[in-house]
A = this chain, B = another copy of it.
Amino acid sequence: MKLDTAANILAKIGNPTRLRIVRLLVRAGDEGLPVGMIQKKLKIPGSTLTHHITHLKSAGVIRQERQQATLICKMEFEVLRNLVDYLTEECCADIDAREDAA
């Protein structure tokens, strides 16, 4: 994963409202949740919710699938996994091969 990609995802889920959405969807698993259900749980205006969903989609954190009149939001679990890996990978890699030159 590229640094800018990771930073973008982190910035998106770093908003409290969006993190709440992500947590709901993580808990919901592969079945996801309809936008309307998320709105009921979060109690925020639809336009604000759409704004945040747009951000999460653009970062690839979630996707939407239509089921008749309602849109289901689903977590992209693989993206989340990759992000977590990115944050911890190469931990302490420079301890032995210490490069003290700039």
A: residues with CB less than 8 A from B are: 3-4, 6-16, 19-20, 23, 26-31, 37, 40-41, 77, 80, 83-84, 87-88, 90-95, 100, 102
Q: Is the interface of A mostly helix, strand, loop or mixed?
A: helix
User: Are B93 and A27 in contact (CB-based, < 8 A)?
Assistant: yes
Closest B residue, CB atoms, query A33: B94
User: B16 touching A14 by the CB < 8 A rule?
Assistant: no
Copies of this chain: 2
Decide if B92 touches A29 in the complex (CB within 8 Å).
yes
B27 pairs with A3, CB closer than 8 A:
no
List B contacts of A4 (CB < 8 A). 16
- Tell me which residues across on chain B come within 8 A of A16, comparing CB atoms: 3-4, 7
Nearest B residue to A37 by beta-carbon distance? B102
- Least CB distance, A77 to chain B, in whole angstroms: 8
Known: A28-B94, A84-B84, A95-B31. A23 touches B8 (CB 8 A): no
